[in-house]
Each structure stands twice: as C-alpha cells, then as structure tokens.
Structure 1
Amino acid sequence: MRNLYNVLINLSGLVLKSAGFFSKKLHEFTSGREKLFENLTAEVKKDQCYIWIHAASLGEFEMAVPVMKMLKKNYPEHSILVSFFSPSGFKNKKQHELVDIFTYLPLDTKKNAQAFLDIIKPEMAFFIKYDLWPNFLLELKRTNCRTFLVSGVFRKDQFYFKNLGTWFKKSLKSFEHFFVQDESSATILLENGFKNISVVGDTRFDRVAAQLEIDNKLGFIEDFKENEILTVFGSTWPEDEALFVETINRSKEGKFIIAPHQIKPEKIKSLTDSIKIPVLTFSQMENMELSDFRVLILDTIGLLNKAYSYADIAYVGGAAGKTGLHNILEPATFEIPIIIGENFNKFPEAQKLQRLAGLYPVKNKEEFAEIFNKLFSDKNFRNQTGSICGHFINSNTGATRIIENYLQKN
C-alpha cells in the first residue's frame, strides 16, 4: 500500500497541474509551488537554526500562534518557518510578527520530503491538529528531528487505524509526543500501541483568550453602535443569511454587523439587496454618518475578532450548510451568547458549549427568530448565557503551558 501511495502522490502532481487550467484554486495550488525549493534556498540562512510549524490552512495557523509565542520566548535564537498546504492559508498569511519564513508544503513525495528538510534542517517540527504526511514524517524520523503533534484529534474511523492503513500508522511513530485535545483521541492512540501522549486541550483557547489582552478598539464600530444592542454575524455563507435576514428586516431596534466569509462583489451586492433597512458596507463608509444606518456589512478581512468585542449577541456561520462551522471561540472569549446552524456534529467545542447552554443551534429562520428575540429582549438571559461562554474559555486554557513544560523537561 505504501508503494501505491507513492505512485499516486507522484501522479497527483501531474493531474493537479492539468486541472489548474480549469480551476482557479487548483491553479493557485500548483503555481504557488513551482519555485518552492528555489525560493526556500534563497530565504533559508545556512547558519540559522529553524523550528518548522506545519498548518493545513488559516484555522490551524491560529491554533499554532500561542505555541509560536512560547517557542519565541524559549528559543529566541531560532527562526520559525511555517508551511501551509492550502492556498487560502498561504495567501492570507504572507507575513506575521512571529514567523520568519512562510512557504507552501510541497507534495508528499520521498524526493520532496528529502529536499525540503535538506534545505531547512529543522531542529524541531510541529504539526497542527491533523494534516499528517507519511513521507515527511518518515524523513523527519530518519533525520532525528524532534517532531510533535499539537492539538491532535483522532477518530477510530481514520484511515491509519484500519487494516489498509497499517503502513501509514507506522509513520505516526515519528512523533516524539502527541499533544491531543481530548480523552477520546488519547484512548484511540493507546489502543493502537502509542503511550507518548498528553491530553492538553485545544490551543485555540489560549489563542482567543489572548485577544482580551490587546487593544480591540474600532472607532467606526463605536460610532455605528451608539448605545444599541449589537449583533455580529461572523463568517456567514448564503445558507446562514437565509436564517437571519428576515429577522433583521423585521427588527425595529438594534444594530447589526455582518462579516460574510466570501467578500466577492456579487456576493456582497446580493446580501445588501436582501436587506430592507438602512444598510452600509465598510467600503462605502467614508464621509457617511454611521449612526444613520442599522446594518453594516464588513466587505473586508481582519476586523471580525475586534468586532466581536462590541457584540451583545453573536451568530457564527458555516453550520447552516455543509462548509463547516467557523470559530465559535472568538466571540465566546468576549462572553457573548452564540447562535449557529444545525450542522455541528464534527465540532466538539460547539457540542460542549451547547450542553452548557452557552450556544444555541437553529434549523430554520423561525428557530433563529425565537432564540434571537429571547436574547435581545431578556438582558438577564443574555448576560447569563454570555457568562457561560466566557467561563467555558477560561476553564479550557492552558494547553500551551503543558507543551512548554514538556519541552523544558525533555
């Protein structure tokens, strides 16, 4: 099976390159890797020590941020190199104060893995959550690089725990230590012969908790909100908007901020056209009296985290359809009650917060209107629900500290 995998991964490079003619995303995937080794060779300094962090995309990068802060503190003489698998991750994080070099991860061939590691020669490697590649892992083991999995999540039905995946499971032995999110993941690893495990939780809790320590002020939101109840709809898709637009249009009070996941002009126009009360987009704000409008659409990126700090109620998108629930921890850290769509069975943090009564899933616009109106009209209920969210964050921080303690002792 391993030989078959290597044949298929080599063939996939040719297939993806051809497919790039028909798909913009696949074109970005292949074109971004064309001069990967040439660019790496130019950027990597031969006399510098590197720590390699691999993240599939932006979500995993955010999970890595608190770990990178810890590494910078404890290993100030090292540089940090971050690799992304997806174009969305690489395009949106081309620079960051904690990162010295950004790169795509090349396809997982033996040749690529050897060439990649020969250039950067990392002293430590950290894979975030789940994006595991057997040839890279085996090459890391061959070169005796200390390799760790951070915020790992495992399920019994994953390929490497099945009969055909035995060869893949062997590559997991490359990890010096597994820092997993939950007891279930630890149990699965134990059942498969691994003992080098610590249950630490999700580093995203550390990441979002740190948001409280920075300046979250956005003057334009203060002007827009005035003293009204503000609802922030974050990372929404059309399926989400179908749940709440009617409630917005019927509202007589309150202010609303919508941050769509896709900010393509045609998507923004469609959303704007569906709203029947005074609405303004971020790109139209100049010289406008913001208090005259009741809906503000953020047709830009990078403001949602701070926007949540002004919210009284939050709706987090992605779970009304099949695209996947976006980050509920960002609003939760500001002690805000949360509403989401119904498809969240693969998101344990949402399931836990629902059981605690800090989060409410809805199936349709009628259910959305019911819970929204209750949160809007009942201040005590709103505050109590928000407090549950804040406590949920506070009680789950500390994953990074456990990782730090392990590195200091070993």
Structure 2
Amino acid sequence: MGIFSRKAALFYAGRNSLLSHIEDEMGYSQDSDRETVWFHCASVGEFEQARPIIELLRERFPLYRIVITFFSPSGYELRKDYPLADHIFYLPMDTRKNAAKFIELINPTLVIFIKYEFWRNYLTTLNKCGIPVYLVSGIFRQGQPFFRWWGGSFRNILNLFTHLFVQDENSASLLRGIGVERVTVCGDTRFDRVHALAQKAVKISSVEIFCGSSLCCVAGSTWPADEEVIVAHYRRYFHREKIAKRYSELKRGKFDQNIDSVRFAEFPELDDVISVSSSESKFKLIIVPHEVDEHQIKKLINLLRDIPYVRYSELEGSHRGEKLSEASVLIIDSVGILSRIYRYGTFAYIGGGFGAGIHNILEAATYGMPVVFGPKFGKFKEARDLTELGGAFPVKSEDELVEIFDKLLADSAFRDECSQVCAGYVAKNIGATEFIVNSIAPAK
C-alpha cells in the first residue's frame, strides 16, 4: 500500500464513529466544570505553532482543559499522546450537524485556529454561540480566494473570527483592504518554539558520535526528489575524497605501482579537489526522510549504493561505535527527533522544495545553520526573508546545489557569516506567543 493510500485509510478510519467516540470520552471526563480551550491544527507544522501557546496557557492556567484537533492523519498519529492536552481528536468533517454536535460536546470557552484553518460551519456555529475564536500565526497572499473579485463568500468567513493575529504587515494590509479590521501583526509563534528548543536541546549520543569533529549536512524532511540531488552531490564528494587521498599518498611516494588504478582522468584538477575535500574536517551526511516507512527507506538505501551508511534504528548494542565509525551517511528512520538533530549540523538542507513546498527551515536556522532548499519556497515568509538576508540558498538543480554545498564546505568565513544571519533572524522574531496569550487570556 502506498503512502497516500495508507494516509487515506487512516483519514477515514479515524473518522469512523468519531462523534460517538468523542461523546464517550468527554462523558467519562470528571472535569466538565473546567474552562475548555480548543486548538485546531491541520497537521504537524501547525501543531508546532500552537505548541508554545498551549505551554504558556498550561503554565499560567493549569486548570484549563485543553482539547486539540487535527485534520491530517500525520499530525494526529504523531501527537495523539501529547501530554499537555486533556483530549486529542480528529476534527469531524465540516458539516453543520457535525459542527453543532462537536461544539456542544467539548463546550469550549475559547477557540484557537492555526494559520490556514477556515472551516465555515465550525466558525459559523462558534459565532452563533458567542464563543470567541482566534486565528493565530495567520499569513495571507494576494492570490488567495479572499482577495479575488469572486471571493465574497470566502471574505465572509474571515469576519467570523473574533480577531486575527497575523505574521506580517503584508497580511494585515491585505485584510484591511477587504474591510477586515480586527487584525494585529505579531509574528509567528514558531520562532518562540524553535528558540526554546535550541535553549534546552537534548543530546542524542549516537548522532554526536557519528558527527564527531566532521562537517555535517543535516538533510531534514526529505522526499525522493530531494534525496536524488543530495546523494548525487555526496557521491561526488565521497569519490573525489577517496581519489584525493590516493593522489596525496602517491605524491608522498607511498605507492610505486598500479598508479593507473586511480581514475585521475575523471578529476583533471586534483589539487583543487584536495582543497575542497580536505581543507576542513571530513564531511558527513545525515538524512531524515519525511516518510520513514520501510519502502521509502529501502529506496534511499538503493540510491546510496556504494556509500557506507548506517540506520539510526541499528545503533543498539555493543557494536554501535564500530557501525558509526564506518559510516559516512546516517539515515534517521525514526520520527520526532529531527528538531534535536539539527544542532549537530554545519548546514542544513530542508526537503520539500522540489515538490509541494519546503518544510520547516526555522528548526535549523535557530541553531545558526545556513539552510539550502529547492525552488518551491515562495509561500514561506521565513524562507524569503533569509534568502534576502543571505542565510538561505534556494537551488533549482543539482549543479546549483553542488555549487553552494562546496562553498559552505570550503569557506569557513562564509559559513560563519551565514550562521550569524540565521541565528540573528530567529532571535529578532521571538515574542508572538507572549503577546497572543496576554491578548486572548489576560491574567485573572
């Protein structure tokens, strides 16, 4: 069964008798008199935007009952055991009947939708019930239906929010241009999340041993299209490093025969090869696929072919050190640890840019890591910002990736400059969480 088939199966299975399940769970709850805050997140990325608000609310108002809903199976499956929530559900489909029943069951005092969530029937029902509902970390673009001549019904949805907290001034200007005045620019709560992660990063000993003193690229949330260009570059590096090593040995007179066994003809400028390959420490690669099912992992392994690798799941027992020392590539075939792995990288490649769009670059940038990604990044403000500032580098092809990877490997001053840009950008943009919580749930 393919990835999308499995996700579709989870999507429909998760909604089978969903309202009955919610009714049973809420009925067994012994805290019906507690005030309830409902967070709705589409998937994992939106949950990470909600998370700092949940944590601050839990800290300030420990008696609040927190309900989280997800639209996607990937978000629900990954975070269904999140300990700071009292209840976690799939969101029932957006019909008038479902919306009325769900809101009756959870009885929220306050509702927070994250980023792109515009469910008409839920918003209409909340509005009729007089329950305040906020959009958090919202971001808007000119091409969205709200701003088109035919988008009247979509514009009406926006007026159902009590207030919209948006990421940038452009979003606020677009909204005000269509008559939506209850809007405040306060930034993206993800900055608070990733900044906090960097402050309390937890060590992963296997990754630390693997990296050692080497330069390391962490390729996070990769898809097959990303892996093809990354591995192609790494194979080029891996083989030229081997040839450069043999060439150096020959120049020192360590070999006096079989010289033609080294394929020098493929690398005519060997002294330049040596300068890239050995001007710094050894270069290693960590790949963290977006999908970690066995089929995808095996496809990645086939792509690596002759490059020595080790899987994270294999690093148990007494032979861990031996496996790590022999490997040039570490494949992370576990979920939920990517944000902790970035701290070990020299620079990062963020996946998705050769497909629907890039994944979260801030988890890497917060550690002061230069970031590289594919061409589909235009919808992401932080990617546009860091590209303009010189901390991020979009690439359209393998050749462009090779060029920027080699520069990041060979030029430590350039790396340091990019690193300062990324770390400074994150530090400059923290604070949205505190502002939002103070606005929607002032201290009692």
Q: What TM-score, normalized by structure 2, do the two folds share? A: 0.84
Contact map agreement 2:225 2:355 (CA 8 A) in 1: no
Q: Does residue 125 in structure 1 map to residue 155 in structure 2?
A: no
- Report the Cα offset of residue 155 of structure 1: 2.5
**Which has the larger displacement, 161-170 or 151-160?**
161-170
Q: Distance in 1 between matches of 2:315 and 2:59?
A: 40
- Report the Cα offset of residue 408 of structure 1: 5.0
**Which has the larger displacement, 148-157 or 268-277?**
268-277
SS in 1 for 2:344: coil
Q: Does residue 196 in structure 1 map to residue 182 in structure 2?
A: yes
Contact map agreement 2:58 2:64 (CA 8 A) in 1: yes
1:7-22 matches, within 5 Å, as none
Q: Distance in 2 between matches of 1:227 and 1:155?
A: 43
1:284 match: 314
Q: Distance in 1 between matches of 2:387 and 2:148?
A: 32
- Report the Cα offset of residue 250 of structure 1: 2.6
Superposed CA deviations along residues 200-243 of structure 1, whole A, max 9, x for unmatched, are 11111111111022242011112111211111111111111121
Q: Distance in 2 between matches of 1:197 and 1:350?
A: 23
Q: Which amino acid aligns with 1:401?
A: E
Q: Which amino acid aligns with 2:343?
A: S
- Report the Cα offset of residue 160 of structure 1: 3.5
- Report the Cα offset of residue 67 of structure 1: 0.9
2:351 match: 317
Q: Distance in 2 between matches of 1:120 and 1:98?
A: 17
Equivalenced residue count is 388
Identify the match of residue 264 of structure 1 among 285, 288, 293.
293
**Which has the larger displacement, 330-339 or 377-386?**
377-386
**Which has the larger displacement, 159-168 or 281-290?**
159-168
Contact map agreement 2:175 2:181 (CA 8 A) in 1: yes
1:31 match: 13
Q: Which amino acid aligns with 2:311?
A: T
Q: Distance in 2 between matches of 1:367 and 1:267?
A: 25
Q: What TM-score, normalized by structure 1, do the two folds share? A: 0.91
Q: Distance in 2 between matches of 1:163 and 1:369?
A: 44
Q: Distance in 2 between matches of 1:183 and 1:236?
A: 31
Q: Distance in 2 between matches of 1:165 and 1:365?
A: 40
Q: Which amino acid aligns with 2:21?
A: N
SS in 1 for 2:23: helix
Q: Distance in 1 between matches of 2:417 and 2:141?
A: 34
1:25-174 matches, within 5 Å, as 25-44=7-26, 45=29, 46-174=32-160
Contact map agreement 1:137 1:172 (CA 8 A) in 2: no
1:403 match: 436
Superposed CA deviations along residues 350-392 of structure 1, whole A, max 9, x for unmatched, are 0110000001111111111111111111111111111100001
Q: Distance in 2 between matches of 1:298 and 1:25?
A: 21
Flag structure 2 segments of 5+ consecutive residues without an equivalent.
Answer: 242-281
Contact map agreement 2:369 2:423 (CA 8 A) in 1: yes
Q: Distance in 2 between matches of 1:108 and 1:303?
A: 33
**Which has the larger displacement, 266-275 or 103-112?**
266-275
Q: Distance in 2 between matches of 1:26 and 1:241?
A: 25
Superposed CA deviations along residues 8-36 of structure 1, whole A, max 9, x for unmatched, are xxxxxxxxxxxxxx943333222211222
Q: Distance in 1 between matches of 2:370 and 2:388?
A: 13
Q: Does residue 244 in structure 1 map to residue 237 in structure 2?
A: no
Q: Does residue 295 in structure 1 map to residue 329 in structure 2?
A: yes
Q: Distance in 2 between matches of 1:48 and 1:347?
A: 38
Q: Distance in 2 between matches of 1:355 and 1:39?
A: 49
Q: Does residue 336 in structure 1 map to residue 369 in structure 2?
A: yes
1:352 match: 385
Q: Does residue 186 in structure 1 map to residue 172 in structure 2?
A: yes
2:162 match: 176
Q: Distance in 2 between matches of 1:281 and 1:317?
A: 19
Contact map agreement 1:324 1:344 (CA 8 A) in 2: yes
**Which has the larger displacement, 215-224 or 156-165?**
156-165
Superposed CA deviations along residues 169-208 of structure 1, whole A, max 9, x for unmatched, are 2232221111001111111111121211110111111111
SS in 2 for 1:150: strand
Instruction: Percent identity, please.
Output: 41
Residues 222 and 409 from structure 1, CA distance in 2 versus in 1: closer, same or farther, beyond 3 angstroms? closer
- Report the Cα offset of residue 72 of structure 1: 1.2
Q: Which amino acid aligns with 1:29?
A: F
**Which has the larger displacement, 224-233 or 262-271?**
262-271
Contact map agreement 2:356 2:376 (CA 8 A) in 1: no
Q: Distance in 1 between matches of 2:218 and 2:87?
A: 34
- Report the Cα offset of residue 407 of structure 1: 2.6
Q: Distance in 2 between matches of 1:249 and 1:302?
A: 28
- Report the Cα offset of residue 164 of structure 1: 4.3
Q: Distance in 2 between matches of 1:61 and 1:230?
A: 28
- Report the Cα offset of residue 284 of structure 1: 2.2
More contact order relative to length (CA 8 Å, sep ≥ 6): 2
Superposed CA deviations along residues 223-275 of structure 1, whole A, max 9, x for unmatched, are 11121111111111111112121221232331111111122222212212222
- Report the Cα offset of residue 96 of structure 1: 1.1
Contact map agreement 2:40 2:68 (CA 8 A) in 1: yes
Residues 358 and 264 from structure 1, CA distance in 2 versus in 1: closer, same or farther, beyond 3 angstroms? same
- The Cα RMSD (Å) is 1.7
Contact map agreement 1:225 1:291 (CA 8 A) in 2: no
Flag structure 1 segments of 5+ consecutive residues without an equivalent.
Answer: 1-21
- Report the Cα offset of residue 163 of structure 1: 4.8
Q: Which amino acid aligns with 1:318?
A: G
SS in 1 for 2:424: helix
Q: Distance in 1 between matches of 2:397 and 2:154?
A: 42
Q: Does residue 380 in structure 1 map to residue 413 in structure 2?
A: yes
